[in-house]
Chains A and B, each alone.
Chain A
Amino acid sequence: MTRLSPRVIAAAFPSDTTLVHAVQWLRNNGYDQLELYTPYPIPHAEELLTLKRPRIPLVVLVAGLAGAATGFLAQWYPNAWNYPINVGGRPLLSLPAWVPITFELGVLFGAFAAVFAFLIGSGLPRLWHPLFELEGFGHVSTDEYWLTVTTPDSDVDSARIEHELVALGASRITALQESA
């Protein structure tokens, strides 16, 4: 998640295409500490920022299996082990009858895992964030495309970046100082 340090420049762009060009320029000039904020998932963001895929699927798989195991045991223990009793002359170990619940609980656990993995990964819920204080950041969820770039603490760099971003069509530029 984004810590504003030591010095961050946030730029808003009117369209995803202009944003993409700005990102490409920044990457080419070696500024890699980038983050994008967009109203919808813009295509190819992973490649642009070379993000690696988080391992949510693995988490879901494990949770799913755990759920299935729980489901199975929750049926086997009562009916076959703890209180075995003749029900309709059926076997105590009625495996086929236990399939549905085993499956359902697997899915249930998996689903919860997926959601929690996503929320924790993105540090949500977090109702307040410094970015929200930036003027116009509210437009990110509607029609503006933002990027933040973190620069080494040198006026030269930042001036150059700001100038270049404007050239690339940034409609608004805010530089933030480390909030003490």
Chain B
Amino acid sequence: MSRNLPVLDTGAANEGLTAEEITRRQFLQLAATGLAVGALAGCVEPPRERILPYTVQPIGVHPGKPRYYATTMPLGGYGTGLLVESHEGRPTKVEGNPQHPASLGAAGVYEQASVLQLYDPFRAKSLRYRNAPSTWNAFVREFAPTPQRAGYRGAGLRFLLQPTASPLTSALLDRIRDRYPEARIHSYAPLGSTTGTSGLLRLFGTRVQPQYDLRNARVVVTLDADLFGAMPFAMRYARQFADGRRLANPQAPMNRLYAIESALSDTGSIADHRIAVRSADVAIIAATLLRFIAAESRTRGITAPDLSADQQAQHSADERWRMIARDLVANARQSVVIPGEQQPAAVHVFAHAINLLLGNIGRTVWYTEPVLYTTDAGGIDALTREMKAGEVDSLIILGGNPAYDTPAGLNFRAALRSVRLTAYTGLYENETASACHWFVPSLHYLESWGDARAYDGTASLTQPLISPLYDGRTADQILALFLGQTDYSAWDLLRESWRTRFTAADSDLIWADSLRRGVIVNTAAAPLPVTPDWSVVTQTLANMPQASDQIELVFRQDPKVYDGSFANSPWLQELPDPVTKLTWDNAALLSPRTAESLHIESGDLLQFRLQNRTITIPALISPLHADNSVALSFGYGRRGTEAIARDVGVDVYALWPGADQYVISGADVSRVESKNAHRLATTQDHWQISGRPVAVQQTLNGWRADPDFTREEREHAEALYELLPTAEEQWAMTIDLGICTGCSACVVACQAENNVPVVGKAEVLNSREMHWLRIDRYYNAEAGSGTITQPMLCQHCEKAPCEYVCPVNATVHSDDGLNEMVYNRCVGTRFCSNNCPYKVRRFNWYNYTMGWSETEQLQFNPDVTVRARGVMEKCTYCVQRIREAEIQARLENRRIRDGEVVTACQQACPTRAIVFGSITDPESQVSRTREQSRLYSVLNELGTRPRTRYLARISNPNPAFESS
């Protein structure tokens, strides 16, 4: 990715800050007012600073030429470094920042979708006091006096934040605690599990946070951990894991992954052994593994405590645990066992005990101090108790949505009423906003100054790409109020806090450099030495719960709407769930056998009762799901003012017993009789590949036995007519099924890049979704995890069946091997779709793009036509990017470099499973992938000669498993 990451104030640095700062501001205001006036028609208060007419072009802005800026998106408290594409001052596309440890160049589903959230027409636009619109000045008048109140030590003053690792916020919070000793700062997020840290606190006696490195892990075992889907560093882990299995030849070394989990996850999908167990049983399994490993290591003369107490009959009887243990021990010092964040403390204790025994510490695992800002104020339940007790005078809620996403048992919303003064800042007028006195719209990260730390502690800055669309403030600005810094802009606060951090001399240079790179170098947290207390391990082993097989409920992060904070994103609502392909809904996932025992089918309504709380939610049968386990995902059944999220799916917080309790047994389940079953809009209805050579896979040994096992699906049949390609470049794509986790980042990336419309639930039900790139999932008993995912997009066939049936030449072939779709020539006969064996063509049955609001239209990529009603569309290999590179190359009178053209899907892919380039250059990455012996074309026998080809998935099962 050879992209210039400009900071507009470069050079201005040594002239001192103000000048630099104004230049930058001006540009942003110009850009913003341009679109604000144009699109928002006065939704925006005029910027305070002086505006210049566009007669003089702002520095660095070339109309029609996109610019990329580095910034940081905070999620779940941790930052992910991004490069954001900006067209004439409006951010249009989010991409990964290769220099940032959490991204490594990739950008996940949430990051990709965040740009649309910026333009969400349902965002809160102005301040509110009780039911009347208000102003920032009024808000300041309300709270600015607080610091002046003599002798006021913050009694009854409470702050509730989302978990954060922002150095700026942390600094402000520290100062607040100094100024108001009696004030308390609570942090809460439904997914912010604290079991991990408390487990490690018990084991090591200090607050630490585990860090993992899969690069030199030969064997990876996950204990109900969605390593590649739902963990803070997921994209980094996925990349590291994938690097361990980019097999050029059968002899290449390959890592092995055991995924022990209840609901099928991205991690489970790609595992070599996926073992479905109730989440509640994971603890027992961890214990079993620990015992075996202890025993194993001692037999191998490795010093390990004797843990061979009475073992849980049920699970130790299962030979698989013994085999996994052996495999781990055999790969001691180059293996890792990773517990799921939502698992109870015990599992973390066991997992890390295992890592200790295996000598993995310092190699694949190490520990740092917790990156998140922590206080001893206690969790959300402590706060709620105080509120109910009337001990809270004023409560400042910074972000989150506690009135919605707190455990129903707490009844936080009611508790809010017993607080004298409540203020809330958030993007939307959501459930919490309506329950608070004050509401201040907060700024989207793409319009605010700030900073964040990645999971490993690396700090990075958040710089805005656009000045605020609405009258919003950052949380930091509100905190600053309580420190008497009333007229500070977010920039002032940030710059000030970093000026102190950087060594004064080259402060400005570092600042500029950090902005440009999107990372502040050498800020990762240092490893801490730890000493385990084995007695803790034995104690924990001693009082283990009994295994049971009653139905458990697993509360989990939603792969699409996170904890509900993304629920208003049409992209994410329509994004097929990576596993179930479900859109516009959440459902109770359960295994076929469990469904059978409950006498239900997908779509039937289930009622769950826990204590006195009940929810009714449609069931969805998911193959490979653990028996007697039901997965419920957060984030649906919203009741705020966000019209898209409203009433989509079912709110499972209403059943959730309490923070940190993600796995619950003993809920009673009953089928709700209703005449018509709930219609779940899934984008895939058939899951059996039924022997068709579509998604090909093989075991490592199988591959070694027959290195050329895909020949049938690779070699071309003779063609009667060879049309020789004429252009210098011939574009092609290779997708490595071996490392595709099905995470779906590419799907959203494609949607963002290519202005792909959203069609809504009704249309999805009629199989009219418009995604140019879909991810097919097949379940097959054979090798590996028992499931395989396959990104399916236009294959750009050299002998394209779609082309010769078009009566009007609306789809033809370009000289550089693209299957082109000429929208304005298309009359919509749909003959091409009928003749496309891959069914990757999408048709505008209605005028779908008509639905976009004025603000959302600002996200449109100006380089891509917006399609109208009645025309066919499909993947173009991001032709706009190809042509851009072509023009550049022609200007510089050279060939296009390999890797210069990066398609949106390729860019987003965390594992780099997608490779794109020209096959006329034998040295290009894509050419080299096409030499591999596991290369094949889907439906090769049809002789369509696809340019998009696949590398068969190779799985690396433990030979011991096969033998037994």
Contacts and interface: CB of A to CB of B under 8 A. Distances in A.
Contacts of A88: 797, 799-804, 813
A85 B812 contact: yes
B606 to A, nearest CB: 50
Interface string B800-822: 11111010010011110000000
B481 to A, nearest CB: 66
Contacts of B799: 88-90
B263 to A, nearest CB: 44
Contacts of B505: none
B802 A89 contact: no
Interface string A44-82: 000000000000000000000000000000000000000
Name the residue among A86, A87, A89, A91 with the largest chain B CB count within 10 angstroms: A89
A89 B809 contact: no
Interface residues of B, number: 18
Interface residues of A, number: 7
Interface in B762-815: 797-804, 806, 809, 812-815
Interface in B653-692: none
A86 B812 contact: yes
A89 B812 contact: no
Interface in B698-728: 719, 721, 723
B841 to A, nearest CB: 14
Nearest to B804: A88
A91 B721 contact: yes
Nearest to B720: A91
A88 B801 CA distance: 6
B721 A89 contact: yes
Interface string A81-109: 00001111111000000000000000000
Contacts of B797: 88-89
A86 B721 contact: no
Contacts of B801: 88
B274 interface: no
Interface string B49-78: 000000000000000000000000000000
A92 to B, nearest CB: 9
A167 B55 CA distance: 110
B945 interface: yes
Contacts of A87: 803-804, 806, 809, 812-813
Contacts of A85: 809, 812-813
Name the residue among B723, B799, B815 with the largest chain A CB count within 10 angstroms: B723
Nearest to B813: A86
Contacts of B800: 88-89
Nearest to B817: A86
Contact of A90 (B802, B804, B814, B815): B804
A91 B723 CA distance: 8
B808 to A, nearest CB: 11
A5 to B, nearest CB: 59
Contacts of B719: 89
B721 A90 contact: yes
Nearest to B835: A88
A86 B723 contact: yes
A161 to B, nearest CB: 67
A9 to B, nearest CB: 63
Contacts of A89: 719, 721, 723, 797-800, 803, 813, 945
B558 to A, nearest CB: 42
B813 to A, nearest CB: 4
A135 B223 CA distance: 110
Nearest to B721: A91
A87 B815 CA distance: 11
B814 to A, nearest CB: 8
A88 B720 CA distance: 13
Contacts of B798: 89
Interface string A108-144: 0000000000000000000000000000000000000
Nearest to B805: A88
A86 B722 CA distance: 11
A90 B722 CA distance: 8
Interface in B465-513: none
A133 B799 CA distance: 72
Interface in B898-939: none
Contacts of A86: 723, 812-815
A83 to B, nearest CB: 8
A86 B727 CA distance: 12
A69 to B, nearest CB: 22
A87 B945 CA distance: 14
Name the residue among A86, A87, A88 with the largest chain B CB count within 10 angstroms: A88
A81 to B, nearest CB: 14
A88 B802 CA distance: 7
Contacts of B809: 85, 87
A80 to B, nearest CB: 13
B832 to A, nearest CB: 10
A87 B813 CA distance: 6
24 contacts: A85-B809, A85-B813, A86-B812, A86-B814, A86-B815, A87-B803, A87-B804, A87-B806, A87-B809, A88-B799, A88-B800, A88-B801, A88-B802, A88-B803, A88-B804, A89-B719, A89-B723, A89-B797, A89-B798, A89-B800, A89-B803, A90-B723, A90-B803, A90-B804
**Pairs A-B, 8 closest by C-beta atoms:** A88-B803, A88-B804, A89-B799, A86-B813, A88-B800, A89-B723, A87-B803, A91-B721
Given A87-B812, A89-B721, 8 more contacts: A85-B809, A86-B812, A87-B813, A89-B719, A89-B803, A89-B813, A90-B799, A91-B721
